[in-house]
């Protein structure tokens, strides 16, 4: 009947796996994303492991953080790795020209980042400086990180405290070459990418994924030209898409918003579906076998900075609305796993749509963190395609399906199914038909709160946290689920 919500899970026609790299993080030298957020230094009174704050390590491990992208962002194309190695007291102190003009003492450099990735259990995704450094500088950087032994750079690394090479998984050939990475035209960027890629060489037996700097949102010409002219020189290409409720000059507040802003934010975030579909279609023309991966290596919400925060630090609160932005994007990612094999939310701590906010020795997990937690069993699981028939949610000119869903058969053998109800006023009753899925029972967790902008603070860190969900029943291969208004639910069928 009209208005009924029906989801069909096709367990018998599995799609490519939900690559764990789709849960990737991004940590730029921006605001307190690194200094204060990750790194407090060994002498700090904040509990730390070798200078890295312990609460953040534990929280990143708990959501099985698979990838961290570093050092930028715009910062990457002005970063010179040599300024960030060797004794910390002797490192060059610079001005961070992109982000607030603050001093950058380079105390967090290559050794600190690569060791941190290992500590957290994440793969490092290092973005190279293509905009303002010669290819030789990047070649040496890669050699410093990966050369087993014998070369001067391997010896220098050992003298800096690290004898064995690190495993460098992913390397970015510049960032936003169309903008802060050099203001290049697509044709020029393609040639530059060919040139720089030539000199990124790995030791025998090691492989790095080379990732080209991708398009800004719907700049389809960028992907076209990069794939056409340089596609053989890289293994992945990015695309960046930020969800901005209004315009660049006035983006909208992170909290204290009305339902129009709720609806426009969620309607704008699901534009990701169109972007991924169209960039993928262009890639299919040049790479029908899908050798080259698409990576949304920057995504998330971008609001006006918090009143009173440092201009240029991009510090924003994170509410239940951000939780739904996250689950809607994960559902979209699940529909494109044939081509989409990585994503990096911007950014990990204290910047834009963060997992965590810190203040001195205090740390709070955001609603976005909790969606990463709810969905973590998707990592490397096989996607089970879903059809969603849903009533529409409308507010003013903003319209989207009230119900969003995706499903994955996890590496643990269970089927995990994410369901979101974007309507802030009405519950949604959903019938889920399970084909090719057998399970004796269903359990679940839910993330919701009384208000659209509910958020966690240092004084009230438990305002938006998952709770046990009892609104699903399983009988005769069918689930009946009642989703409360503005909620994200993760079901586990075993």
Question: Is 28 an interacting residue with respect to ligand AHR (CB under 6 A)?
Answer: yes
Question: Is 175 an interacting residue with respect to ligand AHR (CB under 6 A)?
Answer: yes
Q: Of the candidates 254, 273, 258, 255, which has an alpha carbon nearest to the alpha carbon of residue 328?
A: 273
Closest contact distance (angstroms) between CB of 302 and ligand AHR is 8
Is 156 a residue of the active site?
Answer: no
Size of the site for ligand AHR (CB under 6 A): 10
Pick the closer one to ligand AHR by CB: 263 or 352: 352
Letters for 307-336 (x = contact with ligand AHR by CB under 6 A, - = none) are ------------------------------
Pairing of strands 94-95, 103-104: antiparallel
Q: Which of 28, 137, 176, 249 is catalytic?
A: 176
Q: Which stretch binds ligand AHR (CB under 6 A): 71-79, 229-237, 372-380, 421-429?
A: 71-79
Question: Is 68 an interacting residue with respect to ligand AHR (CB under 6 A)?
Answer: no
Question: Is 72 an interacting residue with respect to ligand AHR (CB under 6 A)?
Answer: yes
Q: Which of 123, 137, 298, 397 is catalytic?
A: 298
Torsion over CA of 259, 265, 269 and 275, rounded to 10 degrees? 120
Q: Which helix (H) or strand (E) holds 371?
A: helix 367-374
* Cβ pair 461, 366 in contact under 8 A: no
* Cβ pair 34, 79 in contact under 8 A: no
3-state secondary structure of 195: helix
Q: Which stretch binds ligand AHR (CB under 6 A): 5-13, 139-147, 151-159, 344-352?
A: 344-352
CA distance 220 to 222: 5
Task: Indicate which single residue of 346, 354, 417, 490 sits in contact with ligand AHR (rule: CB under 6 A).
Answer: 346
CA distance 486 to 475: 26
Q: Which stretch binds ligand AHR (CB under 6 A): 59-67, 72-80, 317-325, 468-476?
A: 72-80
Instruction: Taking the CA atoms of 304, 307, 312 and 318 in sequence, report the sign of the dihedral they define.
Output: negative
Pick the closer one to ligand AHR by CB: 236 or 444: 236
Question: Which positions from 7 through 26 interact with ligand AHR, judged by CB under 6 A?
Answer: none
Question: Is 349 an interacting residue with respect to ligand AHR (CB under 6 A)?
Answer: no
Q: Which residues contact 14 (CB under 8 A, 6 or more apart)?
A: 382, 383, 384, 385, 409
Question: Is 176 an interacting residue with respect to ligand AHR (CB under 6 A)?
Answer: yes
Closest contact distance (angstroms) between CB of 494 and ligand AHR is 39
Is 298 a residue of the active site?
Answer: yes
Q: Indicate the length of the chain as a whole number.
A: 494
From residue 45, alpha-carbon distances to 49, 52, 90, 106, 349 in Å are 11, 12, 23, 21, 19
Pick the closer one to ligand AHR by CB: 31 or 471: 31
Q: Which stretch binds ligand AHR (CB under 6 A): 67-75, 217-225, 259-267, 452-460?
A: 67-75
Pick the closer one to ligand AHR by CB: 28 or 322: 28
Rounded-to-5 percentages of helix, strand, coil across the chain: 30, 30, 45
Pick the closer one to ligand AHR by CB: 297 or 377: 297
CA distance 66 to 52: 18
Closest contact distance (angstroms) between CB of 48 and ligand AHR is 25
Letters for 233-272 (x = contact with ligand AHR by CB under 6 A, - = none) are ----------------------------------------
Question: Is 453 an interacting residue with respect to ligand AHR (CB under 6 A)?
Answer: no
Take residue 252 and report the two structure tokens written for it. 């909208």
Question: Is 104 an interacting residue with respect to ligand AHR (CB under 6 A)?
Answer: no
Question: Which positions from 278 through 307 interact with ligand AHR, judged by CB under 6 A?
Answer: 298
CA distance 18 to 426: 31
DSSP 60-127: HHHTT--EEEES-SGGGGG--GGGGSS-GGGSPPEE-TTTTT-EE---S-HHHHHHHHHHHT-EEEEE
Closest contact distance (angstroms) between CB of 102 and ligand AHR is 15
Closest contact distance (angstroms) between CB of 173 and ligand AHR is 14
Closest contact distance (angstroms) between CB of 99 and ligand AHR is 8
* Cβ pair 252, 261 in contact under 8 A: yes
Pick the closer one to ligand AHR by CB: 71 or 165: 71
Catalog residues that contact ligand AHR under the rule CB under 6 A: 28, 72-74, 175-176, 298, 346-347, 352
Annotated active-site positions, please? 176, 298
């Amino acid at each position: 009947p009209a208005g009924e919500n029906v989801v069909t899970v096709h367990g018998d026609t599995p799609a490519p796996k939900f690559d764990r790299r789709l849960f990737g993080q991004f940590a730029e030298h921006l605001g307190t994303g690194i200094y204060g957020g990750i790194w407090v230094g060994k002498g700090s009174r904040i509990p730390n492991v070798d200078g890295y704050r312990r609460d953040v390590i534990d929280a990143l491990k708990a959501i099985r953080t698979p990838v961290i992208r570093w050092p930028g962002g715009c910062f990457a194309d002005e970063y010179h790795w040599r300024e960030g190695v060797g004794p910390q007291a002797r490192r060059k102190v610079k001005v961070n020209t992109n982000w607030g003009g603050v001093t950058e003492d380079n105390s967090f450099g290559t050794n600190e980042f690569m060791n941190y990735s290992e500590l957290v259990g994440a793969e490092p995704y290092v973005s190279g400086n293509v905009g303002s450094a010669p290819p030789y500088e990047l070649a040496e950087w890669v050699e410093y990180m990966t050369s087993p032994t014998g070369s001067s750079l391997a010896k220098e690394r050992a003298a800096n405290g690290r004898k064995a090479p690190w495993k460098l998984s992913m390397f970015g050939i510049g960032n936003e070459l169309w903008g802060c990475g050099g203001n290049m035209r697509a044709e020029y960027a393609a040639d530059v990418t060919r040139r720089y890629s030539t000199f990124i060489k790995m030791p025998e037996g090691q492989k790095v994924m080379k990732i080209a700097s991708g398009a800004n949102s719907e700049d389809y010409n960028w992907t076209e030209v990069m794939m056409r002219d340089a596609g053989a020189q890289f293994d992945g290409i990015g695309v960046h898409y930020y969800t901005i409720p209004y315009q660049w000059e006035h983006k909208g507040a992170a909290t204290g918003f009305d339902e129009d802003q709720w609806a426009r934010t969620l309607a704008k975030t699901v534009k990701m579906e169109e972007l991924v579909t169209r960039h993928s279609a262009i890639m299919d023309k040049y790479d029908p076998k899908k050798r080259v991966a698409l990576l949304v290596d920057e995504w998330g919400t971008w609001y006006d900075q918090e009143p009173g925060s440092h201009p240029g630090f991009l510090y924003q609160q994170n509410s239940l609305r951000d939780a739904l932005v996250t689950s809607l994007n994960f559902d979209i990612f699940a529909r494109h796993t044939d081509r989409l094999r990585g994503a990096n939310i911007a950014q990990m701590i204290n910047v834009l749509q963060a997992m965590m906010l810190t203040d001195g020795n205090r740390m709070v997990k955001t609603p976005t963190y909790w969606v990463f937690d709810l969905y973590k069993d998707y990592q490397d699981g096989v996607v089970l395609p879903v059809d969603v028939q849903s009533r529409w949610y409308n507010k003013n000119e903003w319209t989207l399906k009230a119900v969003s869903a995706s499903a994955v058969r996890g590496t643990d053998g269970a089927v995990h199914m994410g369901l979101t109800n974007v309507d802030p006023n009405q519950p949604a009753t959903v019938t889920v038909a399970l084909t090719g899925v057998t399970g004796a029972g269903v359990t679940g967790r839910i993330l919701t709160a009384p208000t659209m902008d509910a958020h966690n603070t240092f004084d009230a860190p438990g305002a938006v946290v998952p709770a046990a969900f009892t609104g699903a029943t399983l009988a005769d291969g069918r689930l009946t689920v009642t989703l409360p208004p503005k909620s994200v639910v993760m079901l586990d069928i075993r």
